[in-house]
Amino acid sequence: MKNTILGMHHITAIAGDAKRNFDFYSNVLGLRFIKKTVNFDDPGTYHFYFGDEVGSAGTILTFFPWGAGIPQGRRGSGMATEIGYSVPKGSLEKWVERFEKYNVIYNKPSERFGQRYLTFLDPDGLKLEFYEVENDTRKPWETDEVKADIATRGFHNVTITLNNIKGTAGVLTDIFGYTLIGQDGNRYRYAVDTVDQAALVDLVELKDEKLGHVANGTVHHVAFRVIDDESLMYLREKVVAAGLNITPQIDRNYFHSLYFREPGGVLFEIATDNPGFMIDEALEDLGKGLKLPAKYENIREDIEAHLAPLN
């Protein structure tokens, strides 16, 4: 576990209206809303975290809901273009029924690397995929409508689209310890063997694809998981040794992070398990209060007055 990448930690995307984002992920998809905070670099906007019961690494999807009417982003090269979740075998038809009920845009289930999957869009146009995965033993979060027979188990894979996969593949294999495990046309699947789940990254090579534009409905960055601060700084040295620019360690309250732009243009983060989401809320209260970093507590009233209510 030391000094190695343990699959994905979290994925962060941009959304528009905060309440609509909250409703879709907590109600329609049935994820647990585990933290309501603000963008640490822009406290006038929310930062939402959705995950499993405890906010385990590899289940965490986070959003910056910038507000209704923000410019629409565009999926393209140099970007993580699809977020893949693991769901139980046989659940896709039930998800299709659910998507019909909630007017979710989806494609009919298809198959990739021997697994059935269902592609759909969130209300802001963010592209997600549900993969039927056998033997995913992660404990699902259940809601009144989304029970264990269909509930997501956390991430399965993330897809990154590139004009040329070479530089990104090099970071995955030479720095992060991934290996190429499969190819399907222009899709190259990489995996780490340090964890059983959230272990896959797919690189899709599209030579002529235009650069993506990060705004509403697109992925902002992909975070990879390490066990602790020592491993984080070990990985930092490896990134520096590869000649890439990387930030110093940044305290994100719930984890400690580094950021660097990989050669394909995607913003990568490396994040620790510690200290976790229970640092400022008990397990049963996760997501209930507006949690602010210490530096903003003195302007809490002002911040709360400007954030849209969620219910």
Nearer to Zn ion, 35 or 189 (CB): 35
Nearer to Zn ion, 12 or 197 (CB): 12
Nearer to Zn ion, 133 or 158 (CB): 158
Structure tokens at 295: 């530096």
CA angle, 62 then 151 then 30, to 5°: 50
Q: How far is the CB of 113 from Zn ion (least distance, A)?
A: 27
Q: How far is the CB of 12 from Zn ion (least distance, A)?
A: 5
Nearer to Zn ion, 96 or 270 (CB): 270
Q: How far is the CB of 302 from Zn ion (least distance, A)?
A: 25
Nearer to Zn ion, 93 or 251 (CB): 251
Round to whole Å and give the CA distance between 101 and 244.
47
Q: How far is the CB of 304 from Zn ion (least distance, A)?
A: 24
Q: How far is the CB of 291 from Zn ion (least distance, A)?
A: 16
Nearer to Zn ion, 63 or 95 (CB): 63
Q: How far is the CB of 60 from Zn ion (least distance, A)?
A: 9
Q: By the criterion CB under 5 A, which residues form the site for Zn ion?
A: 12, 223, 269
